[in-house]
Amino acid sequence: MKPLEMLVMIKAGLGEEGLAACRERLTGWLEDNDGRLEEVYDLGEIQLAHAVKKNRRGHFLLFWFEGPAALPAAIAQRIRIDEEILRHLLIHRHPASLKTFKRSSEDKGNGKRGK
């Protein structure tokens, strides 16, 4: 099982139900292809620098999971068909990145920038 990371940009304005349905759909695709979900982070809605498929805002979700070598191709094929998903990025994840991300997200909100 390879550790993988997937960042997904979803159309903004779907509402809570639409966002939850999209998250469940992605999670189901992972589990259908023998993937094991570790974490899902909702990064929120962000204004984009340029329009992507005529959308100026996007909602971002970050998935951390493990799966077989064939999983990225199977997920990418399903994502291309889904009209609510605007963009995605699927990469091999270094095992230490989970610890680093958790540590940096715990430090948020202290008012300090940079170091």
User: Where are the domains positioned within the chain?
Assistant: 2-93
Over its C-alpha atoms, the chain yields an Rg (Å, rounded) of: 15
pLDDT tens for the 115 residues of the chain, in order: 889 999 999 999 899 999 999 999 999 999 999 999 999 999 999 999 999 999 999 999 999 999 999 999 999 999 999 999 999 999 998 767 766 666 666 665 544 434 4
Which strand (E) or helix (H) includes residue 99?
A: helix 96-107
78: nearest Cα among 46, 1, 37, 70:
70
Are 90 and 26 within 8 A, CB to CB? no
Over 2-45, what HEC string results?
EEEEEEEEEECCCHHHHHHHHHHHHHHHHHHCCCEEEEEEEEEE
- What CATH superfamily is the domain 2-93? Ribosomal protein S6/Translation elongation factor EF1B (3.30.70.60)
